[in-house]
Chain A
């Protein structure tokens, strides 16, 4: 049987921790819980991450890089801004559906336990790959005259706040329809709100 590399074990910890943190919360989840889920000793766990807080930051960067990479792929496509919005919404909802722990972690751990992410994750440092791609998306949208030129955060909040809110409602099982069902109308709403006037 092939030997599991250190990198694969590290990946296993990230995957397990994401699920536990997003289901049980940051404080209730313990390192023994995570170690048990990946089948390693608590002592060995510390060979990979020095503390629960450092692991939490690592997870945040992992998600930001994952999201940033997906959005970059969309940004680099030769399609209209309206189509890009649809693709970003689709990607985000698919991720919420197939990898709910990633979005839930963002909403339930990062945004709800900001004190954990103080030192080393100030401002946008740990979410930089994701925010940078959204900046590129907006800047290019204005440059090609598809989007109305306005303050970045006003536009960013409208876009991501809307998506985050929908995923939250979905997680709370309040939405009568699956996320997939809302893709077109939500994309259209975002485009209508941001497009050139």
Chain B
């Protein structure tokens, strides 16, 4: 139990329809103890809090920060209490509400079972819709499937420090979502010279042309703030699935949709005409260094 002098903000983590992915992601935060020491954790699905989940269901408490993980389903019950009642109660007085993960942000994966009914907290994909629209000024969406633990850490640290988190039109922190996943990709040289990768898991080649990589049109900082502090999807040879965007999940994640060999989607902010002009020219040049296996580059024997 906390002392009466404990002025730290209170934090409550509630789940809707979820796979626990964001909880798991959060548990991988290296400085999780340090971060949590800034808050009074009322309840969390996997970490010890001050109160039980049953206590929280009485709706007799209040929290300063409400984290909601998972898709919002208005008909869902938690411990016999309608999720809508729980969410509305804690949202009313919370100073900050975090929609954690793409499900809580836009509906995500678990919207599929009831696409019209289920949603994120304030968005159904890109459309404003959801239970907390009247509190939307308080909502910060940290999208991602899952959200990166450092993104959660950044957002909570800003709130704990009393600083305002600036958000984009989808309520995602600008600091984290103003660049594309393409930014910082170690395969950028292959993208510049239009050299495709030959197979999954290869170190060489760009994943955009054949393998469905969405990094050039996905707002995320996966290649700046690395996963497990060392890597990212594209660095290990798996395409970006665009999991931070409202249209996630898409179909055929491992293939690039093309019309007559031309990508249907081109890098964000670039006109198709400009992109095709540049691509046609870049493809003309064959950079031998980029066409072979890196292990063979300058091999002497």
- Place the interface of chain A in its size category: 20 to 34
Known: A132-B273, A132-B276, A136-B272. A155 touches B260 (CB 8 A): yes
- The complex places the Cα of A143 from the Cα of B261 at a distance, in Å, of 12
Q: How far is the CB of B263 from chain A (nearest CB, A)?
A: 9
- The complex places the Cα of A1 from the Cα of B239 at a distance, in Å, of 66
Q: Please tell me if the beta carbons of B281 and A135 are within 8 angstroms of each other in the complex.
A: no
Does residue B127 face the partner (Cβ distance < 8 Å to A)?
no
Q: Please tell me if the beta carbons of B262 and A128 are within 8 angstroms of each other in the complex.
A: no
Q: Please tell me if the beta carbons of B272 and A139 are within 8 angstroms of each other in the complex.
A: yes
Q: Please tell me if the beta carbons of A131 and B272 are within 8 angstroms of each other in the complex.
A: no
Known: A136-B272, A136-B273, A139-B272. A128 touches B280 (CB 8 A): yes
- The complex places the Cα of A45 from the Cα of B260 at a distance, in Å, of 44
Interface mask (B248-267 → A, CB under 8 Å = 1, otherwise 0):
00000000001111101000
Chain A residues 119 to 142 lying within 8 A of chain B, measured CB to CB, are 122-125, 128-129, 131-133, 135-136, 138-142
Closest to A138 in B: B260
- The complex places the Cα of A123 from the Cα of B260 at a distance, in Å, of 19
Does residue B277 face the partner (Cβ distance < 8 Å to A)?
yes
- The complex places the Cα of A139 from the Cα of B283 at a distance, in Å, of 18
Among A9-17, A34-42, A145-153, A163-171, the one that faces the other chain is A145-153
Does residue B58 face the partner (Cβ distance < 8 Å to A)?
no
- The complex places the Cα of A140 from the Cα of B260 at a distance, in Å, of 9
Known: A122-B285, A139-B272. A132 touches B280 (CB 8 A): yes
- The complex places the Cα of A6 from the Cα of B262 at a distance, in Å, of 40
Closest to B264 in A: A143
- The complex places the Cα of A136 from the Cα of B263 at a distance, in Å, of 11
- The complex places the Cα of A123 from the Cα of B261 at a distance, in Å, of 17
Closest to B272 in A: A136
Q: Please tell me if the beta carbons of B262 and A135 are within 8 angstroms of each other in the complex.
A: yes
- The complex places the Cα of A132 from the Cα of B276 at a distance, in Å, of 6
- The complex places the Cα of A108 from the Cα of B260 at a distance, in Å, of 29
Does residue B284 face the partner (Cβ distance < 8 Å to A)?
yes
Option from B258, B276, B284 in Cβ contact (under 8 Å) with A136: B276
B283: which A residues are within 8 A, CB to CB? Answer: 123-124
Q: Please tell me if the beta carbons of A125 and B284 are within 8 angstroms of each other in the complex.
A: yes
Chain B residues 264 to 293 lying within 8 A of chain A, measured CB to CB, are 264, 272-273, 276-277, 280-281, 283-285
A-B residue pairs in contact (CB < 8 Å), sample of 17: A122-B284, A123-B280, A123-B283, A124-B283, A131-B280, A132-B280, A136-B272, A139-B260, A139-B262, A139-B264, A140-B259, A141-B259, A142-B260, A151-B260, A152-B261, A153-B261, A155-B260
B residues near A, CB below 8 A? 258-262, 264, 272-273, 276-277, 280-281, 283-285
